[in-house]
Amino acid sequence: MNSRILIHKKLRQLKAQNKQLQSEIAFRTQLEKVLREKETRLHAIYNSASVAIGIIDTNGNWLDANQYWLELLGYSKEEFLNLSNRSITHPDDMEITLQYMKNILNGIIKIHRFEKRYLKKNGEIIWMDISISPLLDETGKVIALIGAGTNITERIRAEEALRRSETLFRAIIEQSGEGISLADSTGR
């Protein structure tokens, strides 16, 4: 009789444990589903953003880039991931780029925004307004840098055209032997 009671008691314990395990499995399954949905959403945002986003390791090698960045530079993802930041940075901007990266890697600054030139696959130069910041592991160690940027090539070209125009206008005024006065539409 005692053995039947022990077996019955053990069976109830096993059923309770089984119910607990099923509950945990259902919870984990639901959690995994939520995480997959969030990952899918983040991936969609990352790849549909109209901002260039890229991740480089601490040596300056590309780890990832969003679709906008790849299209802007003219590379396939496979080609791009075989490049380093150095290989697409304009030579005149290399020294300052490396200094900014070093400052972030050494914790001197947390985030830095600057304008720099990149070389597209076809050799064309584009200007970008870039913001870089560190990606940290759970101990706080920098494991990569993430950059986000916007194409400012047209703005830079417009500023250069304006400077040339102002220089030309100034030269014309200074070289003119005649008196020149300027007025706005109200005569002032």
Residue 78 maps to a domain? yes
Same domain for 22 and 63, yes or no, is no
Mean pLDDT of 169-180: 78
pLDDT at 64: 96
Quote the pTM value: 0.72
* Chain-centroid distance, C-alpha 37: 22
Strands of the sheet containing 112-119, edge to edge, are 62-65, 52-57, 142-151, 125-136, 112-119
Query: CA separation (Å) from 128 to 58, 74, 113, 119, 151?
Result: 21, 15, 10, 11, 5
User: 90 and 19, same structural domain?
Assistant: no
pLDDT in tens, 21-73: 898 888 898 988 888 888 888 877 777 788 999 999 999 999 999 999 999 99
Q: How many domains does the chain have?
A: 2
Could you tell me if residue 169 is inside a domain? Answer: no
Quick: pLDDT tens for 107-118: 888 999 999 999
In which element (H, E) is residue 19 found? helix 2-48
pLDDT at 178 over 80: no
Same domain? 37 vs 85: no
Q: Give me 145's structure tokens.
A: 């840098």
